[in-house]
Amino acid sequence: MSGADPEYGHLVPLLERYAALDPDDPERDELRDQLVRGYLPVAQHIARRFANRGEPLDDLVQVATVGLINAINRFSPDRGSDFFSFAVPTISGEVRRHFRDLGWSMRVPRRLKDMHVSINSVVSELSQRLGRAPRPSEIAERLGVPVGEVLEGLEASEAYRSSSLDEMLSSEQGSATVGELVGQADAELARIDFQQSLRPLLSELAERERTIVLLRFFGNMTQTQIAEHVGISQMHVSRLLTQTLDRLRARLDPETRAG
């Protein structure tokens, strides 16, 4: 999508003119309208990518359009990058923030929400470098903030219930080896006395939850290892495991537990 792009190519000179105008120039409003209309299909396209996550598409398009306006306002053509490589992350970022704000089960100050996002964004990088999950002190050092703030952010993470942000922050697909690992975990499960009471309950679980439970409790993998194999964040694995254990516990009444 360069300047020669037939669909958006004619907008490039307008962007340059817009960026060069004085902030008070009356011509800006009209130019901006033209640019927003011209690039609107980009915002719509990004909004559609986030559809089917429980939010109405109209709302997502609106949020994406806000992101587009921000991108138009902040873009500076003289830096040499093209508009798309700047606009796409800006627009996606706005939509993600929308989901992030929806995902909290109790009122959490914005500062802590941002800390949650910051922590989440460095955990997988640190895990890879360290070969294990990072400690709060290591996260604090990486972010350049006091440990106390990281601890507060971690505590706030417990109030975060939506999986949507975590899913967006991490890759879409699990590794090809997951099936093999689950096979090994399954074999381990078969050696357990209580597997007859557990197996039907496990089979009721959604595939991903079942996979995570098998890998953690029968495949002997840590949450961080599972996160890497399944392609979601460690915090998301932790949340899914807690929820799944709750559900299993409710279904395994004391009599069944004993068997």
Partner 1 sequence: MTIDGNATVEITTPASPTLIPTIRAVASDLAGRADFDLDAIADLRMAVDEACATLVDLAAPTTRLRCTFLLHSDHIEVVAEVRAGRADAVVSTETFGYRVLQTLADKVSVQHVPDPAGNGPTVGIRLHKYAGDAAP
133 binds partner 1 (CB under 8 A): yes
Planar angle of CA 134, 136, 137, nearest 5 degrees: 100
Q: How far is CA 63 from the centre of its chain?
A: 17
238 binds partner 1 (CB under 8 A): yes
222 binds partner 1 (CB under 8 A): yes
Query: CB 169 → partner 1: shortest distance, Å?
Result: 15
Residue from the set 123, 185, 214, 240 that interacts with partner 1 by CB under 8 A: 123
Which positions from 192 to 221 touch partner 1 by CB under 8 A, shown as an x/- string? xxx--xx-----------------xx--x-
Residue from the set 134, 160, 210, 212 that interacts with partner 1 by CB under 8 A: 134
d(CA 255, CA 76): 67
125 binds partner 1 (CB under 8 A): no
Q: Taking the chain, what is the end-to-end CA distance rounded to the nearest angstrom? A: 63
235 binds partner 1 (CB under 8 A): yes
Interface stretch with partner 1, choices 12-20, 91-99, 146-154, 165-173 (CB under 8 A): 146-154
For residues 145 and 147, which CB has a smaller minimum distance to partner 1 in the complex?
A: 147
Which tokens in the block code for residue 76?
Answer: 């500076």
Residue from the set 10, 129, 132, 161 that interacts with partner 1 by CB under 8 A: 132
Interface stretch with partner 1, choices 45-53, 87-95, 154-162, 170-178 (CB under 8 A): 154-162
Residues 216/224, Cβ–Cβ less than 8 Å: no
Report H helices in the chain.
Answer: 12-20, 27-49, 57-74, 83-102, 110-130, 136-143, 147-157, 164-169, 178-189, 195-204, 207-217, 223-230, 234-251, 254-258
d(CA 203, CA 210): 7
Query: CB 224 → partner 1: shortest distance, Å?
Result: 5
Query: CB 115 → partner 1: shortest distance, Å?
Result: 13
Residues 46/95, Cβ–Cβ less than 8 Å: yes
Pick from 184, 178, 168, 176: which is nearest to 218 by CA? Answer: 184
Would you tell me which residues interact with partner 1 (CB under 8 A)? 123, 132-137, 147, 151, 154-155, 158, 192-194, 197-198, 216-217, 220, 222-224, 234-235, 238, 241-242, 245, 248-249, 252, 254, 257-258
